[in-house]
A and B are shown apart, each in its own frame.
Chain A
Amino acid sequence: MSRLRRSMLFVPGNNPGMMSDAHIYGSDALMFDLEDSVTLREKDAARLLVYHALKTIHYGDCERVVRVNPLSTPFGKADIEAMVAAGAQVIRLPKTETAQDILDMEAEIERAEKQFGIPIGQTRMMAAIEGALGVVNAYAIATASPRLVAIALGAEDYCANLKTSRSLEGSELLYARGAIVVAARAARIDCIDTVFSDVNNEDQLIKETQAIKQLGFDGKSVINPRQIKPVHRVFTPTQKEIAKANRILAASREAEARGSGVVALDGKMIDRPVVIRAERTLELAYASRAVFEEDEV
Protein backbone atom coordinates (compact mmCIF):
# COMPACT_ATOMS: atom_id res chain seq x y z
CA MET A 1 0.00 0.00 0.00
CA SER A 2 1.02 3.60 -0.21
CA ARG A 3 2.89 5.21 2.69
CA LEU A 4 1.05 5.52 6.00
CA ARG A 5 0.31 9.08 7.07
CA ARG A 6 -1.70 8.50 10.24
CA SER A 7 0.29 11.06 12.20
CA MET A 8 2.48 14.01 11.26
CA LEU A 9 4.43 15.50 14.16
CA PHE A 10 5.11 19.25 14.00
CA VAL A 11 8.71 20.08 14.92
CA PRO A 12 9.62 23.78 15.35
CA GLY A 13 12.47 24.49 12.95
CA ASN A 14 14.61 26.48 15.38
CA ASN A 15 14.59 23.98 18.24
CA PRO A 16 17.60 21.64 17.98
CA GLY A 17 16.63 19.72 21.11
CA MET A 18 13.33 18.63 19.58
CA MET A 19 14.85 18.09 16.17
CA SER A 20 17.48 15.61 17.32
CA ASP A 21 15.04 13.04 18.73
CA ALA A 22 11.79 13.77 16.88
CA HIS A 23 11.82 10.38 15.17
CA ILE A 24 11.93 8.20 18.27
CA TYR A 25 8.24 8.69 19.09
CA GLY A 26 7.01 6.69 16.12
CA SER A 27 5.00 9.19 14.07
CA ASP A 28 4.57 8.31 10.41
CA ALA A 29 5.78 11.74 9.29
CA LEU A 30 7.78 14.62 10.75
CA MET A 31 7.02 18.15 9.68
CA PHE A 32 9.89 20.52 10.33
CA ASP A 33 8.46 24.00 10.45
CA LEU A 34 10.18 27.06 9.02
CA GLU A 35 6.98 29.10 8.98
CA ASP A 36 4.72 30.06 11.89
CA SER A 37 6.79 28.58 14.72
CA VAL A 38 9.87 30.60 13.73
CA THR A 39 10.16 34.33 14.46
CA LEU A 40 11.09 36.66 11.59
CA ARG A 41 14.59 37.33 12.95
CA GLU A 42 15.35 33.61 13.29
CA LYS A 43 14.27 32.49 9.80
CA ASP A 44 17.89 32.32 8.60
CA ALA A 45 19.04 30.29 11.60
CA ALA A 46 16.11 27.86 11.43
CA ARG A 47 16.73 27.23 7.72
CA LEU A 48 20.37 26.36 8.46
CA LEU A 49 19.40 24.19 11.41
CA VAL A 50 16.85 22.11 9.49
CA TYR A 51 19.24 21.88 6.52
CA HIS A 52 22.07 20.46 8.65
CA ALA A 53 19.72 18.19 10.62
CA LEU A 54 18.23 16.67 7.46
CA LYS A 55 21.69 16.07 6.04
CA THR A 56 23.05 14.51 9.22
CA ILE A 57 20.39 12.84 11.38
CA HIS A 58 18.96 9.52 10.26
CA TYR A 59 15.22 9.78 10.80
CA GLY A 60 14.51 6.14 10.03
CA ASP A 61 11.19 5.40 8.34
CA CYS A 62 9.65 8.77 9.22
CA GLU A 63 8.65 10.77 6.17
CA ARG A 64 10.58 14.06 6.25
CA VAL A 65 8.31 17.00 5.44
CA VAL A 66 9.36 20.65 5.67
CA ARG A 67 6.85 23.47 5.88
CA VAL A 68 8.49 26.39 4.09
CA ASN A 69 7.51 30.04 4.08
CA PRO A 70 5.25 31.17 1.23
CA LEU A 71 6.94 32.44 -1.94
CA SER A 72 5.29 35.81 -1.31
CA THR A 73 7.65 36.32 1.66
CA PRO A 74 11.39 37.11 1.44
CA PHE A 75 12.14 33.62 2.84
CA GLY A 76 10.22 31.23 0.60
CA LYS A 77 12.71 30.90 -2.25
CA ALA A 78 15.74 30.32 -0.02
CA ASP A 79 13.76 27.84 2.08
CA ILE A 80 12.94 25.73 -0.98
CA GLU A 81 16.49 25.87 -2.31
CA ALA A 82 17.96 24.76 1.03
CA MET A 83 15.40 22.04 1.70
CA VAL A 84 15.63 20.51 -1.76
CA ALA A 85 19.43 20.47 -1.41
CA ALA A 86 19.10 18.87 2.03
CA GLY A 87 17.00 16.05 0.61
CA ALA A 88 13.62 16.82 2.18
CA GLN A 89 11.17 14.21 0.88
CA VAL A 90 8.17 16.54 0.89
CA ILE A 91 7.92 20.33 0.76
CA ARG A 92 4.75 21.61 2.37
CA LEU A 93 3.30 24.84 1.05
CA PRO A 94 1.33 26.82 3.65
CA LYS A 95 -1.78 28.88 2.95
CA THR A 96 -2.40 27.41 -0.50
CA GLU A 97 -5.23 29.23 -2.23
CA THR A 98 -5.00 28.37 -5.92
CA ALA A 99 -3.50 25.82 -8.30
CA GLN A 100 -1.12 28.58 -9.41
CA ASP A 101 0.44 28.61 -5.90
CA ILE A 102 1.33 24.96 -6.45
CA LEU A 103 2.69 25.58 -9.95
CA ASP A 104 4.85 28.48 -8.72
CA MET A 105 6.31 26.38 -5.94
CA GLU A 106 6.81 23.42 -8.25
CA ALA A 107 8.82 25.63 -10.62
CA GLU A 108 11.10 26.66 -7.74
CA ILE A 109 11.52 23.05 -6.61
CA GLU A 110 12.38 21.95 -10.14
CA ARG A 111 14.89 24.77 -10.48
CA ALA A 112 16.56 23.66 -7.24
CA GLU A 113 16.57 19.99 -8.28
CA LYS A 114 18.35 20.93 -11.52
CA GLN A 115 20.82 23.12 -9.61
CA PHE A 116 21.78 20.37 -7.17
CA GLY A 117 21.69 17.42 -9.56
CA ILE A 118 18.67 15.83 -7.89
CA PRO A 119 16.38 13.78 -10.17
CA ILE A 120 13.51 15.95 -11.40
CA GLY A 121 10.32 15.02 -9.57
CA GLN A 122 12.02 13.35 -6.61
CA THR A 123 10.93 16.07 -4.17
CA ARG A 124 7.24 15.66 -3.44
CA MET A 125 4.77 18.31 -2.33
CA MET A 126 1.99 18.75 0.18
CA ALA A 127 -0.44 21.65 0.21
CA ALA A 128 -1.95 23.10 3.36
CA ILE A 129 -5.35 24.64 2.81
CA GLU A 130 -5.94 27.32 5.40
CA GLY A 131 -8.59 29.66 4.00
CA ALA A 132 -11.98 29.81 2.29
CA LEU A 133 -10.47 30.33 -1.16
CA GLY A 134 -8.27 27.26 -0.73
CA VAL A 135 -11.26 25.14 0.25
CA VAL A 136 -13.24 26.35 -2.78
CA ASN A 137 -10.25 25.46 -5.00
CA ALA A 138 -9.40 22.20 -3.21
CA TYR A 139 -9.73 19.90 -6.24
CA ALA A 140 -7.80 22.25 -8.55
CA ILE A 141 -5.05 22.42 -5.91
CA ALA A 142 -5.02 18.66 -5.36
CA THR A 143 -4.60 17.98 -9.08
CA ALA A 144 -2.20 20.82 -9.89
CA SER A 145 0.98 18.71 -9.80
CA PRO A 146 1.89 15.02 -9.91
CA ARG A 147 4.33 15.81 -7.09
CA LEU A 148 1.46 16.27 -4.64
CA VAL A 149 1.14 13.43 -2.14
CA ALA A 150 -1.41 15.03 0.18
CA ILE A 151 -3.49 18.05 1.05
CA ALA A 152 -3.94 19.13 4.65
CA LEU A 153 -6.31 21.34 6.55
CA GLY A 154 -4.92 24.19 8.68
CA ALA A 155 -7.83 25.07 10.92
CA GLU A 156 -6.65 28.09 12.88
CA ASP A 157 -6.13 30.37 9.89
CA TYR A 158 -9.21 28.89 8.23
CA CYS A 159 -11.43 29.77 11.20
CA ALA A 160 -10.01 33.29 11.38
CA ASN A 161 -10.69 33.68 7.66
CA LEU A 162 -14.24 32.42 8.15
CA LYS A 163 -14.82 34.91 10.99
CA THR A 164 -15.48 32.14 13.46
CA SER A 165 -13.54 30.26 16.11
CA ARG A 166 -12.76 26.63 16.83
CA SER A 167 -15.18 24.60 18.92
CA LEU A 168 -14.84 21.16 20.46
CA GLU A 169 -17.51 19.65 18.22
CA GLY A 170 -15.90 21.21 15.14
CA SER A 171 -19.06 22.22 13.28
CA GLU A 172 -17.19 25.19 11.78
CA LEU A 173 -14.77 22.77 10.07
CA LEU A 174 -17.29 20.28 8.71
CA TYR A 175 -17.56 21.80 5.24
CA ALA A 176 -13.80 22.29 4.83
CA ARG A 177 -13.02 18.79 6.04
CA GLY A 178 -15.59 17.28 3.70
CA ALA A 179 -14.36 19.34 0.75
CA ILE A 180 -10.74 18.39 1.39
CA VAL A 181 -11.46 14.67 1.73
CA VAL A 182 -13.53 14.64 -1.46
CA ALA A 183 -10.89 16.61 -3.38
CA ALA A 184 -8.10 14.32 -2.16
CA ARG A 185 -10.01 11.17 -3.03
CA ALA A 186 -10.92 12.51 -6.48
CA ALA A 187 -7.23 13.35 -7.03
CA ARG A 188 -6.12 10.00 -5.55
CA ILE A 189 -3.86 11.59 -2.95
CA ASP A 190 -3.91 11.59 0.87
CA CYS A 191 -5.61 14.05 3.17
CA ILE A 192 -4.40 15.03 6.62
CA ASP A 193 -6.45 16.76 9.27
CA THR A 194 -5.50 19.77 11.35
CA VAL A 195 -3.93 19.75 14.81
CA PHE A 196 -5.77 19.35 18.10
CA SER A 197 -4.12 21.94 20.32
CA ASP A 198 -5.10 20.88 23.85
CA VAL A 199 -2.41 18.29 24.56
CA ASN A 200 -3.88 17.55 28.00
CA ASN A 201 -7.27 16.52 26.63
CA GLU A 202 -6.65 13.03 25.24
CA ASP A 203 -10.33 12.03 25.35
CA GLN A 204 -11.27 14.87 23.02
CA LEU A 205 -8.28 14.15 20.77
CA ILE A 206 -9.53 10.57 20.38
CA LYS A 207 -13.10 11.75 19.69
CA GLU A 208 -11.89 14.23 17.07
CA THR A 209 -9.63 11.62 15.46
CA GLN A 210 -12.50 9.13 15.30
CA ALA A 211 -14.66 11.79 13.67
CA ILE A 212 -12.10 12.72 11.00
CA LYS A 213 -11.33 9.06 10.30
CA GLN A 214 -15.04 8.53 9.76
CA LEU A 215 -15.04 11.46 7.31
CA GLY A 216 -12.29 9.70 5.34
CA PHE A 217 -9.04 11.37 6.42
CA ASP A 218 -5.79 9.37 6.26
CA GLY A 219 -4.28 10.95 9.32
CA LYS A 220 -3.94 13.86 11.68
CA SER A 221 -1.30 16.47 12.44
CA VAL A 222 -0.01 16.32 16.01
CA ILE A 223 1.88 18.92 18.03
CA ASN A 224 3.11 16.75 20.88
CA PRO A 225 4.62 13.25 20.88
CA ARG A 226 2.00 12.26 23.47
CA GLN A 227 -0.68 12.61 20.80
CA ILE A 228 0.86 10.03 18.44
CA LYS A 229 -0.23 6.81 20.13
CA PRO A 230 -3.89 7.79 20.63
CA VAL A 231 -4.12 8.84 16.96
CA HIS A 232 -2.50 5.59 15.77
CA ARG A 233 -4.87 3.55 17.94
CA VAL A 234 -7.86 5.14 16.21
CA PHE A 235 -6.41 4.40 12.76
CA THR A 236 -5.45 0.81 13.57
CA PRO A 237 -8.19 -1.72 12.73
CA THR A 238 -9.51 -3.77 15.66
CA GLN A 239 -9.02 -7.55 15.75
CA LYS A 240 -12.76 -7.90 15.09
CA GLU A 241 -12.49 -5.71 11.97
CA ILE A 242 -9.42 -7.64 10.82
CA ALA A 243 -11.15 -11.00 11.31
CA LYS A 244 -14.19 -9.81 9.37
CA ALA A 245 -12.02 -8.43 6.56
CA ASN A 246 -10.18 -11.75 6.32
CA ARG A 247 -13.47 -13.66 6.04
CA ILE A 248 -14.73 -11.29 3.33
CA LEU A 249 -11.54 -11.67 1.30
CA ALA A 250 -11.58 -15.45 1.74
CA ALA A 251 -15.14 -15.51 0.40
CA SER A 252 -14.09 -13.27 -2.47
CA ARG A 253 -11.18 -15.57 -3.38
CA GLU A 254 -13.46 -18.60 -3.17
CA ALA A 255 -16.00 -17.01 -5.53
CA GLU A 256 -13.20 -16.13 -7.92
CA ALA A 257 -11.94 -19.74 -7.86
CA ARG A 258 -15.43 -20.95 -8.67
CA GLY A 259 -15.55 -18.51 -11.54
CA SER A 260 -18.50 -16.80 -9.94
CA GLY A 261 -18.93 -13.06 -9.95
CA VAL A 262 -21.15 -13.22 -6.89
CA VAL A 263 -19.49 -13.15 -3.48
CA ALA A 264 -21.53 -14.44 -0.56
CA LEU A 265 -20.76 -14.66 3.14
CA ASP A 266 -23.11 -16.05 5.81
CA GLY A 267 -25.89 -16.21 3.26
CA LYS A 268 -25.56 -12.54 2.32
CA MET A 269 -24.35 -11.17 -0.99
CA ILE A 270 -21.27 -8.96 -0.71
CA ASP A 271 -20.85 -6.02 -3.04
CA ARG A 272 -17.53 -5.04 -4.60
CA PRO A 273 -17.13 -1.89 -2.41
CA VAL A 274 -17.29 -4.11 0.70
CA VAL A 275 -14.43 -6.21 -0.67
CA ILE A 276 -12.41 -3.06 -1.44
CA ARG A 277 -12.99 -1.82 2.13
CA ALA A 278 -11.85 -5.18 3.50
CA GLU A 279 -8.67 -4.96 1.43
CA ARG A 280 -8.04 -1.47 2.81
CA THR A 281 -8.61 -2.68 6.39
CA LEU A 282 -6.02 -5.42 5.98
CA GLU A 283 -3.54 -3.08 4.31
CA LEU A 284 -3.85 -0.72 7.28
CA ALA A 285 -3.53 -3.65 9.68
CA TYR A 286 -0.34 -4.90 8.01
CA ALA A 287 1.10 -1.39 7.88
CA SER A 288 0.21 -0.74 11.52
CA ARG A 289 1.76 -4.10 12.52
CA ALA A 290 -1.65 -5.07 13.98
CA VAL A 291 -1.38 -8.23 11.91
CA PHE A 292 1.43 -9.73 9.86
CA GLU A 293 1.31 -10.99 6.29
CA GLU A 294 1.98 -14.61 7.36
CA ASP A 295 -1.08 -14.51 9.63
CA GLU A 296 -3.40 -14.11 6.66
CA VAL A 297 -6.03 -16.86 6.45
Chain B
Amino acid sequence: MKITTPASAGTMESGDIMIEIESSDQREVEVVLKSSVANEFGKQIVATIRNAVEEFGLEYAVINAVDKGALDCTIRARVAAACQRATSSTAFDWGKNA
Protein backbone atom coordinates (compact mmCIF):
# COMPACT_ATOMS: atom_id res chain seq x y z
CA MET B 1 0.00 0.00 0.00
CA LYS B 2 1.28 3.49 -0.88
CA ILE B 3 0.79 6.94 0.57
CA THR B 4 -0.80 9.10 -2.10
CA THR B 5 -1.29 12.27 -0.07
CA PRO B 6 -0.10 13.67 3.27
CA ALA B 7 -2.81 13.27 5.90
CA SER B 8 -3.54 13.76 9.56
CA ALA B 9 -5.89 12.48 12.26
CA GLY B 10 -6.53 13.29 15.90
CA THR B 11 -6.59 16.51 17.88
CA MET B 12 -4.48 18.42 20.38
CA GLU B 13 -7.03 17.84 23.15
CA SER B 14 -6.15 16.10 26.37
CA GLY B 15 -6.23 12.31 26.04
CA ASP B 16 -5.75 12.48 22.26
CA ILE B 17 -2.80 12.35 19.86
CA MET B 18 -2.30 14.26 16.61
CA ILE B 19 -0.81 12.10 13.87
CA GLU B 20 0.55 13.57 10.63
CA ILE B 21 1.75 11.14 8.01
CA GLU B 22 3.53 11.59 4.70
CA SER B 23 5.53 9.42 2.33
CA SER B 24 9.23 8.88 2.89
CA ASP B 25 12.25 8.63 0.59
CA GLN B 26 13.88 6.38 3.15
CA ARG B 27 12.98 2.71 3.28
CA GLU B 28 11.66 2.91 6.81
CA VAL B 29 8.95 4.17 9.11
CA GLU B 30 10.30 7.28 10.82
CA VAL B 31 8.46 8.56 13.89
CA VAL B 32 9.04 12.00 15.41
CA LEU B 33 7.26 12.24 18.75
CA LYS B 34 6.47 15.20 20.96
CA SER B 35 4.96 14.23 24.28
CA SER B 36 4.96 15.59 27.81
CA VAL B 37 5.42 12.01 28.98
CA ALA B 38 8.15 11.18 26.42
CA ASN B 39 10.67 10.34 29.14
CA GLU B 40 8.36 7.80 30.75
CA PHE B 41 6.44 6.38 27.79
CA GLY B 42 8.18 7.66 24.64
CA LYS B 43 9.57 4.30 23.54
CA GLN B 44 6.23 2.59 24.10
CA ILE B 45 4.28 5.27 22.18
CA VAL B 46 6.70 5.11 19.22
CA ALA B 47 6.50 1.30 19.23
CA THR B 48 2.69 1.44 19.22
CA ILE B 49 2.71 3.90 16.31
CA ARG B 50 5.16 1.76 14.30
CA ASN B 51 3.17 -1.36 15.03
CA ALA B 52 -0.10 0.26 13.90
CA VAL B 53 1.51 1.57 10.68
CA GLU B 54 2.94 -1.86 9.84
CA GLU B 55 -0.34 -3.54 10.69
CA PHE B 56 -2.01 -1.23 8.18
CA GLY B 57 0.45 -2.44 5.53
CA LEU B 58 2.65 0.63 5.06
CA GLU B 59 6.42 0.11 4.87
CA TYR B 60 7.72 3.66 4.36
CA ALA B 61 6.39 6.76 6.05
CA VAL B 62 7.33 9.80 8.07
CA ILE B 63 5.10 10.35 11.04
CA ASN B 64 4.95 13.42 13.23
CA ALA B 65 3.06 12.76 16.42
CA VAL B 66 2.05 15.20 19.15
CA ASP B 67 0.82 13.21 22.13
CA LYS B 68 -1.51 14.64 24.75
CA GLY B 69 -1.64 11.62 27.00
CA ALA B 70 -3.42 9.22 24.63
CA LEU B 71 -4.11 5.61 25.60
CA ASP B 72 -2.71 2.86 23.37
CA CYS B 73 -6.14 2.24 21.82
CA THR B 74 -6.42 5.93 20.91
CA ILE B 75 -2.94 5.92 19.33
CA ARG B 76 -3.85 2.87 17.24
CA ALA B 77 -7.13 4.45 16.15
CA ARG B 78 -5.55 7.75 15.16
CA VAL B 79 -2.70 6.09 13.26
CA ALA B 80 -5.19 3.90 11.40
CA ALA B 81 -7.33 6.94 10.53
CA ALA B 82 -4.30 8.88 9.26
CA CYS B 83 -3.14 5.86 7.21
CA GLN B 84 -6.60 5.41 5.69
CA ARG B 85 -6.73 9.06 4.72
CA ALA B 86 -3.17 9.08 3.33
CA THR B 87 -3.85 6.02 1.15
CA SER B 88 -7.45 6.95 0.26
CA SER B 89 -8.39 3.53 1.54
CA THR B 90 -11.65 2.61 3.18
CA ALA B 91 -10.80 -1.02 3.76
CA PHE B 92 -10.04 -1.88 7.37
CA ASP B 93 -9.84 -5.37 8.76
CA TRP B 94 -12.45 -5.05 11.50
CA GLY B 95 -12.32 -8.77 12.01
CA LYS B 96 -8.74 -8.77 13.27
CA ASN B 97 -8.90 -10.36 16.74
CA ALA B 98 -12.70 -9.94 16.65
Residues of A within 8 A of B (CB): 15-20, 44-45, 48-49, 51-53, 55-57, 78, 81-82, 85-87, 115-118
User: What is the distance, in angstroms, from A44's C-beta to the closest C-beta of chain B?
Assistant: 6
Q: Let me know if A45 and B73 touch, CB within 8 A.
A: no
Which chain A residue has the least Cβ–Cβ distance from B82? A45
Q: Let me know if A52 and B15 touch, CB within 8 A.
A: no
Once bound together, how far apart are the Cα atoms of A3 and B90, in whole Å? 36
Counting contact residues on chain B (CB < 8 A from A), the size range is 20 to 34
CB within 8 A of B77: which of A48, A85, A117?
Answer: A48
Q: Assuming the A-B contacts A15-B13, A20-B15, A45-B81, are A52 and B94 also in contact, with contact meaning beta carbons closer than 8 angstroms in the complex? A: no
B1-23 vs A, Cβ < 8 Å mask (1 yes, 0 no): 00000000110011110000000
List A contacts of B72 (CB < 8 A). Answer: 56
CB within 8 A of B73: which of A17, A18, A53, A118?
Answer: A53
Q: Assuming the A-B contacts A20-B15, A45-B78, A48-B80, are A57 and B73 also in contact, with contact meaning beta carbons closer than 8 angstroms in the complex? A: yes
Q: Let me know if B95 and A45 touch, CB within 8 A.
A: no
List B contacts of A19 (CB < 8 A). Answer: 74
List A contacts of B78 (CB < 8 A). Answer: 45, 48-49
Q: Let me know if A16 and B94 touch, CB within 8 A.
A: no
Q: Assuming the A-B contacts A17-B14, A44-B85, are A49 and B98 also in contact, with contact meaning beta carbons closer than 8 angstroms in the complex? A: no
B63-77 vs A, Cβ < 8 Å mask (1 yes, 0 no): 000000011111011
Within 8 A of A (CB), among B10-50: 10, 13-16
Q: Let me know if A85 and B81 touch, CB within 8 A.
A: no
Once bound together, how far apart are the Cα atoms of A45 and B10, in whole Å? 8
Residues of B within 8 A of A (CB): 9-10, 13-16, 70-74, 76-78, 80-81, 84-85, 90, 92, 94-95, 97-98
Which chain B residue has the least Cβ–Cβ distance from A50? B77
Which chain A residue has the least Cβ–Cβ distance from B9? A45
List B contacts of A17 (CB < 8 A). Answer: 13-16
User: What is the distance, in angstroms, from A270's C-beta to the closest C-beta of chain B?
Assistant: 52
Once bound together, how far apart are the Cα atoms of A45 and B17, in whole Å? 12
Q: Let me know if A52 and B73 touch, CB within 8 A.
A: yes
Which chain A residue has the least Cβ–Cβ distance from B69? A17
CB within 8 A of B74: which of A49, A82, A86?
Answer: A49
